[in-house]
């Protein structure tokens, strides 16, 4: 029996980029990948513009809530994708780490968030291909 790879997306507030990435991965990979997201300083709620941008492409992330990044979440993941959290992410040997440089959607309007959403999709598609 093969176990599903676990992917953890991390950004500072776990309210925009990491939530959109988690939404894309769940949508595109289904049950083949275990999806997690967290933030080093989680916000109170998900960025409403990120929710709107994902709704435009048929993905509902409204029920998601920002979560605090824990060492256990990193240890239990096969791939850790960071998005602007810098040194806040714990490092464990043997884990695969990727750092995606993406604009922060915080405080931006929908026109500015759409290209971020689309770039995240492109990177998630590449990630899925690399996991197979």
The catalytic residues are: 11, 85, 89
Q: Are 23 and 55 in contact (CB under 8 A)?
A: no
Cα–Cα dist 9/25, whole Å: 10
Phi and psi (nearest 5°) for 31? -85, 5
The first and second tokens of residue 57, run together, are 């492409």
| Dihedral angle, C-alpha 97, 101, 105, 106, nearest 10 ° | 80
CA angle 49, 8, 93 (to 5 degrees): 145
């Amino acid at each position: 029996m093969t176990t599903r790879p676990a992917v953890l997306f991390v950004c500072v507030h776990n309210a925009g980029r990491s939530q959109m990435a988690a939404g894309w991965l769940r949508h595109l990979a289904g049950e083949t990948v275990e999806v997690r997201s967290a933030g080093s300083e989680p916000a109170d709620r998900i960025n409403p513009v990120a929710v709107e941008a994902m709704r435009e492409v048929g993905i509902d992330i409204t029920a998601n809530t920002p979560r605090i990044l824990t060492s256990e979440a990193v240890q239990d993941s096969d791939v850790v994708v960071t998005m602007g959290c810098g040194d806040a992410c714990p490092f464990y040997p043997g884990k695969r780490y990727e750092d995606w440089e993406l604009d922060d959607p915080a405080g931006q309007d929908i026109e500015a968030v759409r290209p971020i959403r689309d770039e995240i999709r492109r990177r998630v598609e590449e990630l899925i291909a690399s996991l197979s």
